[in-house]
C-alpha cells in the first residue's frame, strides 16, 4: 500500500525528476533527488553472496555461500531462509539495499551453463526454496530481486533468443517459483530476463509483466531489466518495466520525457512506475538514508559456520559400497588426487562471481585435519577450460584512445591478467567505450619444456612473449562463447620455455565495437600441459595408500553464465584418471564438483561417490566433514542424473528444441522435463531426482490422507532403524489416474527434511492443498481439478516410492 508520504513525494517531482528514477545513474545505483530529500538506492549482485560495486573479479572481499544447486540439494527451505538472512548482512556491508537474487529458472536441460545458479528441475522444490531465501533477505530489510522472469533456461544467444513456451507449461513449470515468491514471500523486486518470450522481449512483455505479475498475482514491487536487457522506451514503461539498468539511461531519460510529451506514455503511467520505486526505497530504508557510501569486508564467524554447515547439507552421497564412508580418523595414508584437490572450486562463473574472504581446498582441509604427513598428492590431469590465469605484478597502462598512442592517461598494478572493466575504472580518466591498455610483466616457469599460453577477449588483443606476438586476437578477432557471449573463444599457442628464466609478457588491448552488453574484458593464462606420465604417477600414488580420494569435476569456467556446456562428460582426461586410480586402489572415493550431472563410465569400478557441487568458501572443510562423518551427507539430487547425455529431456534431432534455431528455442517437451521425462519415456536414470544416501537407513510406514479445511494432510511415520543419527527427505508425489489432458505420471507436491536419532520414529505431516491436484486449463484461464481418482505416493526419491494411497477428488476451479 502506497503511503500518503510517497504519493506526495511523487506529486512534488517534476517530470524530469520522476523519469530520472526509472533508470540507473550508474552500474549499481539510482540517482538521489536531493531537492526532495530522496536518497540513493543501491543494488549488488548475488545470489551466493554480495559482490558489491567492484568488477566481476577482484574488489572488496565477501563471504562466498553455496551455489543455488547446492541449496537445491539441501531440500531445506529453512536453511535457504538462514542463508538469505546472512546474505542480507553481506549486502548491507557493501552499502547496498537490493540483492539481485535468487535465481529460480528451471533446469530444463543438463547443459545450461547457469544450472549451478538455479535450484532444481522441479518447480515445487524451487518455489519452496525461493520463498525461504526471499523471506530471509527481506526479514533484514534487504530486497530480493527474483530472476530471470522468464524462460531463460539456456545461455545460448540469450540476449536475442525467443523462448517458445505454451501457457500451460509456463504456468505449471517456469512461472511457479515466481508466483510463490510474489504470493507467499512478497518479493519486493523482480528482474526481467534477456530473452524474448513467445516473440516479445520480456522487458516489454505486457502479458508477463502486467497481466500475470501484477493483475493475476498482485505484485506491488519493482520490475527491473537485466543489465542492458531493455530495448525500447514507451514499450517497456507501458508493459510494466519500472527500471532500466544499468545507467546512465539509454532508452529513457530525455527519450522518455519526449515520449510523455508526445503522448505515447501517460503521466499516470510514469507516476505509477515511480511510486513502485519509492515504495522499494521505503521498504529498504534507502529513501531516508543519508550516510556516505562505504563497502566493508566483514568476515563473520557465524557466516563461516553457516557456509560450512550448508555445504555439508547439500552434499549428496551417490554410492557407498560396503560402507566405505564415513572414513575413520585412524585410517592410514590417504592419496589425494585430481585437479580439484588443491584448487578450491567454490562457485560458478559469471555475475555470481565474487572475491571471497578465503578458499579452503580439500587438500588443505584434510592436511589440517590429519597432518600433511598422512597424505600423498598427485594432480594427475587438468580440467581447465582456459589456461590458468597469468599471475604476478602486472603493470597496466591505460590510454584515452583505441590505438595505445601517446602518454598513458592512467597507470596501475594488478595481480593477474583477468580484467573485466566495469565503469568507472582507470581513475575515470578514459572513456569506457573508447580506450586501450597495455599489460606488462614477467612469467618464470618452474619446469622446463612445452608451455601453453591462452587468451580470450571482449575487445581486440595481442599477446607477446619476449617481444614476439604469439596470439593475435586483433586482426582475426571473432565472437565466441566467453564473457557472456561478448568475447572470443580462447586462442592458444605453445612455446618451449626454460625453468627459472624470466620471460617478458606483454598484452595489448583495445575496446571493440559495442555489442549487446558493450563489455570490455580479457583473460590470459599459461600452464605446462600434463600427459600420460602424470596419470601414471597418480595411479602409483594411489597404490601406496590405504585409501585414494579423487577430486574431479568442473569449475566456474565451465559452469558459467553466458555459455552452455556441449556435453556432460568430465573435461579433459579426468575419466581416465579415475579409472587408473580405481584400478590401482580398490578403496577409491570420487568427489565430484560440478554444477549438474556428468556421465560416469567408471561408476561400477569405484565403491564411493560424493557430489559436492560448489559449496562456497568452506568447500574443503565441508567435504572433509562429510568424508569423516562429522556431518551427514544431507543432500538429495535436485536434478536427475542420466546415464547418457542423449537421455536428457532436450536431446532432440531438431535443433529448434535445443539449443535453438533462427532465433527461436521451442520447448516442445512441454511439462515433461526432469523426472517427468524419464517416467514418460521409460528411461532409467543413473541417479533419480530426490536420490541420496545417508550414513544410516530409513523406513516409512503406510500413508494416510486426512481432509481438512485447506485440502489434505499426508501423514506418514518415518523411522531410522540404524545405529547413528541421520537425515533424509520424505517426498510426496501426486498423479492423476484418469486425466483428460496429458499429465506427468507423478509430480512432486510436498517434501520434508527430517533428522532422526538412531532408533527414532516420527510422524511427518505434509500439507497437500487443492493446487497439488490441479492443472492449468488454458481454455478457462485457471487452475482446475478434474473429478476422478488420484494416487498419492511417498518415498525417498522419484523412483523409490515406498507407499501410496488413492483419493477421489471432486471437480474444482481454483482462484
Instruction: Reply yes or no on whether the pLDDT at 266 is more than 70.
Output: yes
Cα dihedral 450, 451, 456, 460 in deg (nearest 10): -80
pLDDT of residue 201: 98
Q: Which domains does the chain have, with CATH numbers?
A: 4-288 (3.20.20.300), 331-382+531-622 (3.40.50.1700), 391-527 (2.60.120.260), 699-813 (2.60.40.10)
> Which candidate in 226, 251, 559, 647 is catalytic?
226
Q: Which of 56, 46, 111, 115 shows the shortest CA–CA distance to 83?
A: 46
pLDDT of residue 422: 84
Q: Which of 110, 37, 133 shows the shortest CA–CA distance to 648?
A: 110
pLDDT of residue 689: 98
**Cβ-based neighbours of 555, under 8 Å, separated by 6 or more:** 340, 343, 345, 349, 383, 384, 385, 593
Phi, psi values for residue 551, rounded to 5°: -105, 105
The alpha carbon of 395 is separated from its chain's Cα centroid by a whole number of angstroms, namely 33
Report pLDDT digits (tens) over 612-646: 999 999 999 999 999 999 999 999 999 999 999 99
pLDDT of residue 514: 58
Cα–Cα distance for residue pair 704/768, rounded to 1 Å: 12
Instruction: Reply yes or no on whether the pLDDT at 534 is more than 70.
Output: yes
Cα–Cα distance for residue pair 561/483, rounded to 1 Å: 8
Report pLDDT digits (tens) over 71-126: 999 999 999 999 999 999 999 999 999 999 999 999 999 999 999 999 999 999 99
The 3-class SS string of 475-534 reads: CCCCCCCECCCCECCCEEEEEEECCCCCEEEEEEEECCCCCCCCCCEEEEEEECCCCHHH
In the numeric block, which cell numbers belong to residue 103? Answer: 535465481
- If you average pLDDT over every residue of the chain, what do you get? 96
Cα–Cα distance for residue pair 576/547, rounded to 1 Å: 18
198 pLDDT band (50/70/90 cuts)? Answer: very high
Residues belonging to the chain: 815
**Cβ-based neighbours of 140, under 8 Å, separated by 6 or more:** 85, 88, 89, 92
Tell how many helices (H) and how many strands (E) occur in the chain.
17, 36
Instruction: Give the pLDDT mean for 529-535.
Output: 96
**Is the distance from CB of 461 to CB of 455 less than 8 angstroms?**
yes
User: Is the torsion defined by CA of 289, 292, 293, 296 positive or negative?
Assistant: negative
Cis peptide before 148 (omega within 30 of 0): yes
Instruction: Reply yes or no on whether the pLDDT at 57 is more than 80.
Output: no
First to last CA, the chain: 22
Instruction: Reply yes or no on whether the pLDDT at 56 is more than 80.
Output: no
Cβ-in-10-Å burial (0-12, 13-18, 19+) of 653 comes to: exposed
515 pLDDT band (50/70/90 cuts)? Answer: low
Instruction: Give the pLDDT mean for 712-737.
Output: 97
Phi, psi values for residue 145, rounded to 5°: -135, 85
DSSP labels for 225-238? Answer: PPTT----SHHHHH
3-state class of 179 per DSSP?
Answer: helix
Cα–Cα distance for residue pair 138/106, rounded to 1 Å: 23
652 pLDDT band (50/70/90 cuts)? Answer: confident
Cα–Cα distance for residue pair 374/334, rounded to 1 Å: 6
Instruction: Give the pLDDT mean for 29-40.
Output: 97
Instruction: Reply yes or no on whether the pLDDT at 12 is more than 80.
Output: yes
Instruction: Give the pLDDT mean for 592-607.
Output: 98
Q: Strands 43-45 and 146-149, how do they pair? A: unpaired
Degrees, nearest 5: CA angle 503-505-510: 175
Starting at the earlier edge strand, list the strands of the sheet with 588-593: 316-320, 608-611, 588-593, 547-553, 334-337, 375-378
484 pLDDT band (50/70/90 cuts)? Answer: confident
pLDDT of residue 815: 83
Phi, psi values for residue 123, rounded to 5°: -70, -30
Predicted TM-score (pTM) above 0.85: yes
**Cβ-based neighbours of 262, under 8 Å, separated by 6 or more:** none
59 pLDDT band (50/70/90 cuts)? Answer: confident
**Alpha helices for 600-640 (secondary structure H):** 619-627
Instruction: Give the pLDDT mean for 56-85.
Output: 95
Cα–Cα distance for residue pair 264/422, rounded to 1 Å: 34
Cα–Cα distance for residue pair 613/315, rounded to 1 Å: 7
Report pLDDT digits (tens) over 293-340: 999 999 999 999 999 999 999 999 999 999 999 999 887 999 999 999
Instruction: Reply yes or no on whether the pLDDT at 519 is more than 90.
Output: no
Q: Which of 282, 356, 300 shows the shortest CA–CA distance to 2?
A: 282
Determine what percent of the chain is predicted with pLDDT higher than 90: 94
| Cell numbers 552488453: residue | 517
423 pLDDT band (50/70/90 cuts)? Answer: confident
3-state class of 794 per DSSP?
Answer: strand
pLDDT of residue 516: 66
Instruction: Reply yes or no on whether the pLDDT at 707 is more than 80.
Output: yes
In the numeric block, which cell numbers belong to residue 674? Answer: 526432469
Cα–Cα distance for residue pair 656/661, rounded to 1 Å: 5
Beta bridge partners of 507: 439, 463
Determine what percent of the chain is predicted with pLDDT higher than 70: 99
Cα–Cα distance for residue pair 244/236, rounded to 1 Å: 9
Cα dihedral 209, 215, 217, 219 in deg (nearest 10): 60
Beta bridge partners of 436: 399, 510
710 pLDDT band (50/70/90 cuts)? Answer: confident
Instruction: Reply yes or no on whether the pLDDT at 187 is more than 70.
Output: yes
Beta bridge partners of 795: 731, 801
Instruction: Reply yes or no on whether the pLDDT at 379 is more than 70.
Output: yes
Instruction: Reply yes or no on whether the pLDDT at 232 is more than 70.
Output: yes
Tell me the C-alpha to C-alpha distance, in Å, between residue 810 and each of 1, 427, 711, 775.
37, 68, 12, 14
Degrees, nearest 5: CA angle 237-243-246: 130
Count of Cβ atoms closer than 10 Å to residue 27 Cβ: 15
**Is the distance from CB of 608 to CB of 589 less than 8 angstroms?**
yes
| Cell numbers 534431432: residue | 653
Instruction: Reply yes or no on whether the pLDDT at 288 is more than 90.
Output: yes
Q: Is 654 an annotated catalytic residue?
A: no
Count of Cβ atoms closer than 10 Å to residue 38 Cβ: 23
What is the chain's alpha carbon radius of gyration, rounded to the nearest angstrom?
Answer: 27
Cα–Cα distance for residue pair 188/208, rounded to 1 Å: 17
pLDDT of residue 212: 98
In the numeric block, which cell numbers belong to residue 208? Answer: 508477463
DSSP type of residue 351: T
**Is the distance from CB of 192 to CB of 225 less than 8 angstroms?**
yes
Q: Which stretch of DSSP H or E encloses residue 274? A: helix 267-284
Report pLDDT digits (tens) over 132-144: 999 999 999 999 9
Phi, psi values for residue 661, rounded to 5°: -150, 135
Cα–Cα distance for residue pair 631/797, rounded to 1 Å: 21
3-state class of 374 per DSSP?
Answer: helix
Amino acid at each position: 500500500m502506497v503511503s500518503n508520504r510517497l504519493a506526495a513525494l511523487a506529486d512534488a517531482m517534476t517530470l524530469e525528476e520522476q523519469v530520472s528514477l526509472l533508470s540507473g545513474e550508474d552500474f549499481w545505483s539510482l540517482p538521489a533527488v536531493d531537492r526532495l530529500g530522496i536518497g540513493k538506492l543501491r543494488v549488488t549482485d548475488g545470489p551466493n553472496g554480495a559482490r558489491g560495486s567492484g568488477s566481476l573479479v577482484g574488489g572488496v572481499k565477501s563471504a562466498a555461500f553455496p551455489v543455488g544447486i547446492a541449496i537445491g540439494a539441501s531440500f531445506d527451505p529453512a536453511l535457504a531462509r538462514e542463508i538469505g538472512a546472512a546474505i542480507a548482512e553481506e549486502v548491507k556491508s557493501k552499502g547496498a539495499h537490493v540483492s539481485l537474487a535468487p535465481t529460480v529458472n528451471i533446469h530444463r536441460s543438463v547443459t545450461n551453463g547457469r544450472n549451478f545458479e538455479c535450484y532444481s528441475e522441479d518447480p515445487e522444490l524451487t518455489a519452496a526454496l525461493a520463498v525461504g531465501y526471499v523471506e530471509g533477505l527481506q526479514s533484514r530489510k534487504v530486497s530480493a530481486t527474483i530472476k530471470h522472469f522468464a524462460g531463460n533456461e539456456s545461455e545460448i544467444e540469450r540476449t536475442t533468443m525467443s523462448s517458445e513456451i505454451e501457457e500451460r507449461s509456463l504456468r505449471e513449470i517456469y512461472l511457479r517459483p515466481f508466483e510463490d515468491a510474489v504470493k507467499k514471500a512478497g518479493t519486493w523486486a523482480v528482474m526481467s530476463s534477456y530473452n524474448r518470450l513467445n516473440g516479445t522481449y520480456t522487458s516489454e512483455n505486457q502479458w508477463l509483466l502486467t497481466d500475470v505479475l501484477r493483475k493475476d498475482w498482485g505484485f506491488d514491487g519493482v520490475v527491473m531489466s537485466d543489465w542492458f536487457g531493455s530495448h525500447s522506451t514507451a514499450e517497456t514503461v507501458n508493459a510494466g518495466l519500472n527500471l532500466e539498468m544499468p545507467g546512465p539511461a539509454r532508452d529513457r531519460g530525455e527519450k522518455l520525457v519526449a515520449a510523455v510529451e508526445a503522448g505515447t506514455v501517460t503521466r499516470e503511467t510514469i507516476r505509477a512506475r515511480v511510486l513502485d520505486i519509492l515504495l522499494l526505497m521505503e521498504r529498504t530504508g534507502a529513501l531516508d538514508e543519508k550516510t556516505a557510501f562505504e563497502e566493508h569486508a566483514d568476515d563473520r564467524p557465524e557466516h563461516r559456520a553457516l557456509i560450512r554447515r550448508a555445504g555439508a547439507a547439500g552434499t549428496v552421497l551417490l554410492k557407498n559400497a560396503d560402507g566405505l564412508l564415513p572414513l575413520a580418523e585412524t585410517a592410514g595414508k590417504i592419496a589425494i588426487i585430481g585437479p580439484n584437490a588443491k584448487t578450491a572450486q567454490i562457485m560458478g562463473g559469471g555475475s555470481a562471481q565474487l572475491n571471497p574472504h578465503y578458499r579452503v581446498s580439500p587438500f588443505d582441509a584434510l592436511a589440517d585435519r590429519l597432518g600433511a604427513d598422512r597424505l600423498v598428492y598427485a594432480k594427475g590431469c587438468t580440467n581447465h577450460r582456459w589456461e590458468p590465469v597469468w599471475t604476478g605484478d602486472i603493470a597496466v597502462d591505460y590510454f584515452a584512445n583505441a590505438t595505445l598512442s601517446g602518454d598513458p592517461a592512467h597507470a596501475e598494478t594488478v595481480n593477474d591478467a583477468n580484467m573485466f572493466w566495469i565503469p568507472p575504472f582507470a581513475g575515470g580518466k578514459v572513456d569506457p567505450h573508447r580506450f586501450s591498455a597495455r599489460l606488462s610483466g614477467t612469467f618464470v616457469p618452474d619446469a622446463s619444456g612445452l608451455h601453453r599460453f591462452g587468451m580470450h577477449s571482449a575487445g581486440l588483443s595481442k599477446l607477446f612473449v619476449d617481444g614476439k606476438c604469439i596470439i593475435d586476437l586483433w586482426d582475426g578477432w571473432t565472437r565466441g562463447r566467453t564473457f557472456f557471449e561478448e568475447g572470443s573463444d580462447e586462442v592458444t599457442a605453445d612455446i618451449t620455455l626454460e625453468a627459472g628464466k624470466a620471460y617478458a609478457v606483454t598484452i595489448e588491448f583495445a575496446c571493440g565495437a559495442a555489442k549487446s552488453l558493450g563489455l570490455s574484458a580479457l583473460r590470459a593464462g599459461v600452464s605446462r600441459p600434463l600427459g600420460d606420465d602424470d596419470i601414471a604417477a597418480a595411479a602409483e600414488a594411489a597404490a601406496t595408500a590405504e585409501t585414494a580420494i579423487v577430486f574431479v569435476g568442473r569449475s566456474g569456467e565451465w559452469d558459467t553464465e553466458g555459455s552452455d556446456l556441449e556435453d556432460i562428460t568430465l573435461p579433459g582426461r579426468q575419466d581416465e584418471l579415475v579409472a587408473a586410480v580405481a584400478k590401482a586402489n580398490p578403496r577409491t572415493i570420487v568427489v565430484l564438483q560440478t554444477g549438474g550431472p556428468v556421465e560416469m563410465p567408471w561408476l561400477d569400478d569405484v565403491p564411493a561417490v560424493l557430489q559436492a557441487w560448489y559449496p562456497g568458501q568452506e568447500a574443503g572443510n565441508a567435504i572433509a566433514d562429510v568424508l569423516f562423518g562429522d556431518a551427514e551427507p544431507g543432500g538429495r539430487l535436485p536434478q536427475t542424473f542420466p546415464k547418457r547425455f542423449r537421455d536428457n529431456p532436450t536431446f532432440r534431432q531438431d535443433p529448434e528444441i535445443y539449443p535453438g534455431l533462427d532465433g527461436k528455442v521451442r520447448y516442445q517437451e512441454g511439462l515433461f522435463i526432469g523426472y517427468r521425462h524419464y517416467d514418460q519415456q521409460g528411461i532409467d536414470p543413473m541417479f533419480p531426482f530426490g536420490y541420496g544416501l545417508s550414513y544410516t537407513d530409513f523406513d516409512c510406514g503406510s500413508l494416510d490422507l486426512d481432509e481438512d479445511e485447506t485440502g489434505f494432510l499426508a501423514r506418514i511415520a518415518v523411522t531410522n532403524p540404524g545405529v547413528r543419527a541421520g537425515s533424509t527427505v520424505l517426498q510426496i508425489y501426486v498423479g492423476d489416474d484418469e486425466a483428460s489432458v496429458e499429465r506427468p505420471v507423478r509430480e512432486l507436491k510436498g517434501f520434508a527434511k527430517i533428522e532422526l536419532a538412531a532408533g527414532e520414529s516420527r510422524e511427518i505431516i505434509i500439507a497437500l492443498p487443492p493446487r497439488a491436484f490441479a492443472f492449468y486449463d488454458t481454455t478457462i484461464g485457471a487452475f482446475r481439478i478434474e473429478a476422478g481418482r488420484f494416487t498419492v505416493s511417498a518415498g525417498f526419491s522419484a523412483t523409490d516410492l515406498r507407499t501410496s494411497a488413492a483419493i477421489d477428488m471432486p471437480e474444482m476451479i481454483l482462484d
